[in-house]
Amino acid sequence: MKCQICNFSELKPDDKTCPNCQSDLEVFTLISNTNDLFRKKNNIILILIITLLISILSGIYLYIRAKKAITYRNEKIENLQNENKTLSETIENLRLGEVQEISNDSLQINTTESAAVNTQETAEVNTISTSPAVTEQYVVATGDNLWRIAEKFYNDGFKYAKIASDNNITNPREIVTGTVLKINKEN
């Protein structure tokens, strides 16, 4: 530290008066310490402001993300409700025997209203058209699993469930070597 009056630079930190000009240094020391304190306070305030801004921006980001997730979920629920309503109407129409067409792969069922017999409405199936199916037999070999068999016959491992269903297999992971499986293939 140096004297602010005479610029004497050999002052010791604990000097209260300047040895050169006899000026009182306590005031200058107090001002210097106050400036250091203000600089430290300013740094703390700056850090708090930056932290506050980061918190606010994080909150806005999380709010927007949550709002998008809620919107997506609500749209999905609405789509499922519409699908459920459509399926319920279809089931009700089929129960009442009104004209409907249902497509599931290549299966089509047409129904028409029929006369009520003994106060009960009955539906008459006019046509059932399916593409011709070919049933093959396959003997399970050592190391086989339904996924590989489905890939072999259908070129799609996910059709293992069809093979399991067609053969009344309750646990697709446990098939026994030598079991004869029916493989239904459509032309």
DSSP line for 52-90: HHHHHHHHHHHHHHHHHHHHHHHHHHHHHHHHHHHHHHH
Is residue 168 domain-shared with residue 117, that is, in the same domain?
no
Confidence check: pLDDT of 152 > 60: yes
Do 137 and 177 fall within a single domain? yes
Which of 129, 144, 174 lies at the terminal end of a domain, its last residue? 129
Q: Is residue 8 within 8 Å of residue 20, measured between CB atoms?
A: yes
Same domain, 77 and 58: yes
- Domain total of the chain: 3
Domain that holds residue 157: 133-186
Can you give the pLDDT at residue 182?
93
Residue 36 has pLDDT above 70, yes or no: no
Q: Would 1 be classed as within a structural domain? A: no
Same domain membership, residue 152 and residue 122: no
Rounded mean pLDDT, 133-143: 87
Residue 2, in any domain of the structure: no
Q: Is residue 7, in this structure, part of any structural domain at all?
A: no
Strands 123-129 and 107-113, bridge-based pairing? antiparallel
| Structure confidence at residue 172 (pLDDT) | 87
Q: Are residues 80 and 144 in the same domain?
A: no
Q: How confident is the model at residue 37 (pLDDT cuts 50, 70, 90)?
A: low
Q: Token pair of 101, please?
A: 């067409």
Q: Are residues 86 and 20 part of one domain?
A: yes
Q: Please give the order of strands across the beta sheet that includes 107-113.
A: 100-104, 107-113, 123-129
pLDDT per position as a tens digit, 87-98: 888 887 777 765
Report the alpha-carbon distance of residue 95 to residue 104 in Å, rounded.
Answer: 18
User: What H or E segment, with its residue span, contains residue 150?
Assistant: helix 146-154
Domain co-membership, 23 together with 87: yes
Instruction: Please give the DSSP secondary-structure letter assigned to residue 17.
Output: B
Name the pLDDT band for 35 (thresholds 50, 70, 90). low
Question: Both 143 and 117 in a single domain?
Answer: no
Cβ neighbors of 160 (< 8 A, separation 6 or more) are: 145, 146, 147, 149, 150, 172
Residue 138 DSSP SS3: strand
Q: Do residues 32 and 90 share a domain? A: yes
Look up the pTM and report it.
0.31
From residue 159, alpha-carbon distances to 18, 27, 175 in Å are 97, 90, 16
